[in-house]
Amino acid sequence: MTGGPWFAVFPDSEAAAGVARKVCPRPVDVVRYPSGRPWLLGEWPVGDVVVAEAGSSLLALIGRCPVNAEELALRLRGMRELGDTEQTEQVVAGLPGSFHVVVSAGGRLRVRGTASAVRRVFHAESDGVTVAASRADALAHAVGAVMDEEQLALHLLSSPPSYPFGEHRSLWRGVQAVRPGHALLIGPDGRATVRPWWEPPEPDLSLAEGAENVRRALSLAVSSCTANRTGNHTANRTVISADLSGGLDSTTLCFLAARGPARLITFHWASLDPGNDDTAWARKAAALLPDAEHVAPEPSDATLWFSGLGDVPTATDEPGLWARDSARLLLLARLMTRHGSRLHLTGGGGDELFGFLPPYLHAHVRSRSLSALRQVNRTRVMQRWPLRPLLAELSDRTTFADWLATTARRITDPALPARPRTGRVPSTAWEVMPQVPPWARAEAVDAARTLLREASSGTHEPLAAQRGQHAALSAARTCGRAFRVTEQVTAALGLPSAAPYLDDNVLEAALSVRITERGALDRCKPLLTTAVHPDVPGELLARSTKGEYTADFHQALHRNKAALNRLVDDSHLARAGLVDTAVLRAHLAKPGLPPEAMRALDNTVACEMWLRGCSAAKGRSAAKGAP
């Protein structure tokens, strides 16, 4: 059905048992109620589901968490009977990792994912029964939901689209999404409601206070990855793998993982650009990790971006930029599983939580801190920002709703550069303004514009009152959604992945620090470097450069132009009326694409490959007799 781990949750009733047989007619993993009816049904790795029981209450953690069934049962019994499922958060408070929480108590169900959007919840109604699931495509196939092409049009602008899009609606009509940080409640009468269980913290801690919290949370997050989760303590030493790009985020994870009980394999992709110093920094880090094994395949045309499109035989429940990395993901999974890795760590979320975001400038000028204002002025001089446009950005008081309305009007404007050039003032808007690609058909433009307008006139409030805090959480959740679908691919290929920076405890610890301190303009990722200074060699923390991959993109485009044109010749997006293949083909024929067009091409390829994956999955399900 989905090609990777997933689960569905059912009420304890005869009607729900009948729906369960429709959702998954073939034998799969199952956890049953005392009545014998299915409570949890799906496919998951050994050790991924931990269940505790106290009286008539059932509690399950699904995902990565080092707690075992006995420890969880002790926590559950400490709360006595969970007459109110809202008490669940007290039971799981402080547990590290990344996991769904499912509870059944007093005839009620409560299901929630993570605040970071790495783990999500969807629900749909079938034969009068509300069913929850971790994947939208599993529900869509079961209830016969049709695709929502208006929602897909938004993915042409950005895949995944940023807040508020995709938070309430999935890509299938009739399959609803639960917002990250919210829980789905199903009452005894079958009625479904959604309530918040998490709110972003106030960013009021100093850098010193926050760094200690980040260090503790990140260490526990990585420890949850290196722990033996099979329950077999006589087994050989656990093996995990981790990206070692040369950047601060992945380097930090490698040093934290090296302290754990698992054997560590690091993996590095070298750039084709000799001016990219990522490989030099990765080699420095590897030399300081003598007990780890280091794998770095030679660059080749076979693993360029856009190579191997269509070679990954799995479907995801929304498009993702992983599509351009198809060949790389296949090779990564093959090499790491050959070395015995059971889990692969990636640095996703590090930039979003610890790097500088332009909306932070709002906090700097409103902090009444002389030091913060001096930082802004020094940066203005170094970057040659014109004073008048900078003052306009800093004094902007546009509301989030007004920003959405403006975006609706301007989605066909020329796209801004991915990275502001020297002399160009960065936008301090609530979000990065998305633009439709030049090859989008009028129908796609109209659909995206309509959804933006509806959002601007609706009840969508920003994720936080401070623009910088909103931007950080929104960016982290967008990254969480992107990682989520990539992990669906790698897990289906036999290599589950983890993004410890996106564990909720790390997210909360990072967001608790004052924006002016975590987003200081005169240091690179000051919160992270302060937090991990005791664990990562100082010479590696001193890096101030960032690898540039434009040359890799152009080389990939040149080498794979024929494959991309074949994709255009048989475009599923064109059949859906969303892209104009003549315009797209004309852009591919150009000798070079600017960075803005590169982003647009990435999103288009992601949507194209997702549509093809959906068609292939539907065909496989039909052949096997599944819905």
Q: Give the tokens for residue 273.
A: 């650009």
Residue 232: its pLDDT value, please? 47
Residue with the two structure tokens 């991959």 = 549
d(CA 132, CA 363): 39
- Own/partner pairs for 431-435, CB < 8 Å, 24+ apart? 431/162, 431/163, 431/403, 431/407, 431/471, 431/474, 432/158, 432/162, 433/407, 434/157, 434/158, 434/161, 434/162, 434/407, 435/157, 435/410, 435/411, 435/596, 435/600
Q: Give the tokens for residue 540.
A: 């590696």
Mean pLDDT in order along the chain per 10 residues (627 residues): 81 93 82 96 93 91 96 83 71 96 93 98 95 95 92 95 92 97 93 95 97 98 88 68 98 98 97 93 98 95 92 89 96 98 98 95 85 85 88 92 93 68 82 93 96 88 96 98 97 97 99 95 93 97 89 92 95 97 95 84 96 75 48
In three-state secondary structure terms, 189 is coil
Residue 27: its pLDDT value, please? 64
Domains and CATH numbers, the chain: 6-196 (3.60.20.10), 384-467 (no CATH)
pTM for the structure as a whole? 0.95
In three-state secondary structure terms, 145 is coil
**DSSP 8-class letter at 5:** -
8 A C-beta contact, residue 363 and residue 204 = no
Q: Where are the alpha helices (DSSP H) in 79-226?
A: 88-92, 136-143, 149-157, 207-226
Sheet bearing 182-186, strands edge to edge: 49-54, 57-64, 98-105, 108-112, 182-186, 192-196
Count the Cβ atoms, other than its own, within 10 Å of residue 558: 11
Residue 625: its pLDDT value, please? 47
Residue 233: its pLDDT value, please? 46
In angstroms, the first-to-last Cα distance of the chain is 9
**DSSP 8-class letter at 566:** H
Residue 627: its pLDDT value, please? 41
Strands 344-345 and 497-498: parallel
Q: Give the tokens for residue 278.
A: 């990522």
d(CA 497, CA 225): 9
Q: What is the 3-state secondary structure (H, E, C) of 448-497?
A: HHHHHHHHHCCCCCCCCCCHHHHHHHHHHHHHHHHHHHHHHHHHHCCCCE
Q: Find the helix or strand (DSSP H, E) in which 550 lies.
A: helix 550-559
C-alpha distances in Å from residue 330, one per residue of 334, 346, 486, 562, 568: 6, 16, 12, 21, 23
* Nearest of 261, 257, 254, 218 to residue 236 by alpha carbon: 261
d(CA 371, CA 367): 10
8 A C-beta contact, residue 208 and residue 526 = no
C-alpha distances in Å from residue 303, one per residue of 6, 126, 308: 29, 43, 8
d(CA 19, CA 16): 5
Residues belonging to the chain: 627
Single-letter amino acid, residue 151: Q
Q: Give the tokens for residue 528.
A: 């992270």
d(CA 553, CA 272): 10
8 A C-beta contact, residue 34 and residue 80 = no
Sheet bearing 176-178, strands edge to edge: 29-32, 38-43, 6-9, 129-133, 121-126, 176-178
Q: Give the tokens for residue 154.
A: 């938004």
d(CA 222, CA 260): 8
Name residues whose C-beta falls within 8 Å of residue 66's C-beta, 6 or more positions apart in sequence.
96, 97, 223, 224, 227, 229
Rg for the chain, CA atoms, rounded: 24
d(CA 534, CA 538): 9
